[in-house]
Chains A and B, each alone.
Chain A
């Protein structure tokens, strides 16, 4: 049971480049989410999904897109990277609608935008 798998673990981009952060879970969880972690700001919710085909915005959605075509995958897209998006990104999933069950977190993607 791999849990929540994030790829890549590290990435360096130039301003204006695009990229997709991958997140996959093998626990058949309905709920998936993306957070960014910045020093002194904790974890801030970017986007979340309560099931395949359904996504919604979190606290800091600007500059990011998501899709949920399958239960297992929840990719996060940066269409035009900006230095302000330098951060550590965590994907999480939980089994039920909403967050009554604890989140299972991936190992994170450390992203630097030059």
Chain B
């Protein structure tokens, strides 16, 4: 079965800093990959997804992620974070008919 690893558990940044959150999945073949965000007190929302095609995927709020098949990775990036990006971020991979989530990365952005 697929699994997802998020190695950054807690990231603290100042506003305008660049962000990269790691995500690795366990095995190859055709993969569907997702990044979800959970703002404090809210439910999960989709940031972006990769199904096929261009490995550089652009999502909402200036986020992007790059699918690197050789590294089994799907890292999330943002060139300049804002205080409003404070949230928990989850990487997820489709495994047959299930969506498997990573343990999440808590991002705190200070003004």
Contact = CB atoms under 8 A, between A and B. Distances in A.
Interface stretch (A18-26, A63-71, A99-107): A99-107
Contact of B101 (A43, A98, A102, A107): A43
Contact of A45 (B9, B45, B98): B98
A31 B44 contact: no
A45 B94 contact: no
B43 A106 contact: yes
Contacts, number: 58
Interface residues of B, number: 23
Interface string B30-45: 0010101000001111
A100 B51 contact: yes
B16 interface: no
Contacts of A98: 94, 96-97
Interface of B: 6, 9, 32, 34, 36, 42-46, 49, 51, 90, 94, 96-104
